[in-house]
């Protein structure tokens, strides 16, 4: 039987989600990859155990994480109920709905029907009475924002989620949603968006500044740009890379000579800082006051331990920041 390390809270740093009372570890574990039915269950257990033993209390899912859809929640729920039940009140479990989940017009986007039904299914798969954070996963250009926010309000009032979050929103839409949720007294505390040294979309679309203005938290996914901000691609594309195995999210044209040249220059900056490229990429995110936590993915427990090291050195000189910007943007 799993017994958590007594030292699990000794080194991890925790930060508030904006101005709320909720704290998250600066490094959180995302279950987007490696927790579906194609993964090895014993490895999933070790990833969760290693995370929690080292102070990672936040585990982030979505309804369609897999493959197949829903299987990451099912596998996590099994681990939770077999091993982590005594620690439930020490955990932050989040899930989302917004992308395609089931056939027909009611299994996608942001309608009241979809969001409420999806969360009910997620809770059943995980064997939980509630999640700590429930996100709308992406902006819906057709459903009125009032309806989506109203669904989040009902979910919170029902006790099926403690906090509301928004994911993949831009700055102007975030502000509109925040106004509605604030008026309805919904505890909206956090945004989840892609952000890394190579991808600055949240700076361009106003999300980063709006997060700070509204006093909300920001948790970033793809902090290593699908592995490009690591040592895996410094010498080209390895045969066992995610790109070779699954090209849905990382395409070969995203690893061209121009990109590789920039990555190698960033690696030199990291070396001068006494860090790996991956550690610097995570540290760079945590340097930003707006960022509450970074979501890492892992296929091996050792990767989790390596990523946690990033929180040890988040100081950057202005010269380093300028050099990173000149190289990456």
Q: In order of start, what are the domains of the chain with their CATH numbers? A: 14-225+289-317 (3.20.20.100)
d(CA 85, CA 279): 32
d(CA 308, CA 311): 6
d(CA 282, CA 278): 6
Segment 280-297, tens digit of pLDDT: 999 999 999 999 999 999
d(CA 256, CA 281): 20
Percent of the residues in the chain that have a pLDDT greater than 90, as a whole number: 89
Residue 136 pLDDT level (bands cut at 50, 70, 90): very high
Residue 232 pLDDT level (bands cut at 50, 70, 90): confident
Segment 298-315, tens digit of pLDDT: 999 999 999 999 888 999
244 pLDDT above the threshold of 60: no
Residue where the block lists tokens 């917004």: 98
Pick from 158, 66, 71: which is nearest to 121 by CA?
Answer: 71
Segment 96-115, tens digit of pLDDT: 999 999 999 999 999 999 99
Segment 146-180, tens digit of pLDDT: 999 999 999 999 999 999 999 999 999 999 999 99
Mean predicted lDDT score pLDDT of the chain: 95
Percent of the residues in the chain that have a pLDDT greater than 70, as a whole number: 95
Beta strands in the chain, from DSSP E residues, in sequence order: 14-16, 23-25, 27-30, 58-60, 92-97, 131-136, 161-167, 188-194, 217-221, 293-296
238 pLDDT above the threshold of 90: no
Give the model's pLDDT for residue 241.
Answer: 61
Give the model's pLDDT for residue 240.
Answer: 61
- State the average pLDDT over residues 232-241: 73
- State the average pLDDT over residues 58-74: 98
- State the average pLDDT over residues 117-144: 98
Residue 273 pLDDT level (bands cut at 50, 70, 90): very high
210 pLDDT above the threshold of 60: yes
Q: Are 66 and 74 in contact (CB under 8 A)?
A: no
Q: Residue 220 has which token pair? A: 């970033």
247 pLDDT above the threshold of 70: no
Pick from 90, 81, 26: which is nearest to 57 by CA?
Answer: 90
- How would you label 54-85 residue by residue, b for 16+ Cβ within 10 Å and e otherwise? bbbbbbbbbbbbbeebbbbbbbbbbbbeebbe
């Amino acid at each position: 039987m799993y017994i958590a390390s007594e030292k699990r809270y000794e080194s991890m740093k925790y930060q508030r989600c904006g101005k709320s009372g909720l704290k998250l570890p600066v490094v959180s574990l995302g279950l987007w990859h490696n927790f579906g039915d194609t993964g090895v269950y014993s490895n999933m257990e070790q990833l969760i155990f290693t995370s929690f033993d080292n102070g990672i209390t936040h585990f982030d899912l979505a309804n369609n994480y897999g493959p197949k859809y829903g299987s990451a929640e099912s596998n996590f729920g099994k681990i939770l109920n077999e091993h982590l039940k005594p620690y439930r009140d020490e955990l932050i479990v989040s899930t989302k709905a917004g992308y395609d989940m089931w056939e027909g017009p009611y299994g996608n986007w942001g309608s009241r029907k979809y969001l409420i039904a999806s969360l009910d299914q997620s809770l059943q798969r995980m064997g939980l009475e509630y999640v700590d954070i429930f996100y709308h996963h992406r902006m819906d250009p057709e459903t009125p924002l009032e309806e989506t926010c109203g669904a989040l309000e009902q979910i919170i009032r029902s006790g099926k989620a403690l906090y509301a979050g928004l994911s993949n929103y831009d700055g102007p839409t975030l502000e509109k949603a925040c106004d509605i949720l604030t008026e309805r007294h919904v505890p909206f505390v956090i945004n989840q968006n892609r952000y890394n040294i190579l991808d600055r979309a949240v700076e361009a679309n106003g999300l980063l500044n709006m997060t700070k203005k509204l006093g909300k938290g920001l948790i970033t996914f793809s902090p290593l740009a699908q592995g490009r901000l690591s040592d895996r691609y410094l010498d080209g594309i390895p045969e066992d890379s995610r790109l070779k195995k699954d090209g849905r999210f990382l395409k070969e044209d995203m690893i061209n000579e121009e990109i590789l040249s920039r990555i190698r220059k960033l690696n030199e900056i990291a070396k001068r800082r006494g860090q790996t490229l991956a550690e610097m990429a995570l540290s760079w995110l945590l340097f930003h006051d707006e960022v509450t936590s970074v979501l890492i993915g892992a296929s091996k427990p050792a990767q989790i331990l390596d990523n946690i090291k990033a929180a040890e050195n988040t100081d950057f000189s202005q010269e380093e920041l300028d050099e990173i910007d000149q190289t990456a943007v």
